[in-house]
Amino acid sequence: MSRLHAVMAGVEEIACHFDAEPSDALSPPYEVIEGCPHLVVIENQGRRVLKRLSWGFPRLTREMRLGGDPPGRVGLVADLTNPMWEQIVVDPRYRCLIPLTHFGNPDGPPGAMTRTWFSVRDQPIACWAGFCRNTPELGPVYAGMTMDANAAVMPTNDRMPVLLEPHEYTLWLHGSISDVIEFQFRAPFAAERMEVLKTEDLWRSGKLPTIAQPQLDLL
């Protein structure tokens, strides 16, 4: 899947949906790309807390080290067997809930790609299954798990976020590695549940979903 999602909701609305407490003065970032901060729900001592983390775990290759380059970012967890994730995916302490209202994919020919947005019809605030950790290189970060795309998303990408139903939030936060594997390899949300919004906005335009734009006046 692409590396773009949007959150067209206010902090109080997000916190209420996830039964979480804002940890400090927060504001939603609306558009999120790798390296940008986002509001993420973590659990601490039995309490869900809404915190600001940046999207993408650090990835520093041997070539980067030799060249003195800063670490890159990995924001998507597609292969649970990758050594990068082996200590994280098995430990519930590193689970989080990623709020989103839309995720976007590039659509069209190279050089003229536009933004196509996807949302869940019956979930104004959706939830992406995520992992988080405090890293020495980049501080607190998160990444989202992906799965095979449904028929609605497939024309633009063969992967999509692992989306959770509200009654699955606790299982994701506390489940075993077997539960994590089950979430990634189960069937995705049905295509009929997805709202698809094709736009003429260029991929790098920074423009938000037009159907959600009026909500900004209320935030």
Q: Which of 163, 179, 148, 169 is nearest to 79 (CA)?
A: 148
CA distance 181 to 185: 6
For residue range 168-200, list pLDDT tens digits in order: 999 999 999 999 999 999 999 999 999 999 999
Position 217 scores a pLDDT of 38
Position 59 scores a pLDDT of 85
For residue range 117-141, list pLDDT tens digits in order: 999 999 999 999 999 999 998 999 9
Residue ranges of the chain with per-residue pLDDT less than 70: 1, 24-25, 61-62, 64-66, 68, 211-219
Position 69 scores a pLDDT of 72
Position 24 scores a pLDDT of 67
- How many Å separate Cα 60 from the centre of its chain? 22
- How many Å separate Cα 184 from the centre of its chain? 14
Position 206 scores a pLDDT of 92
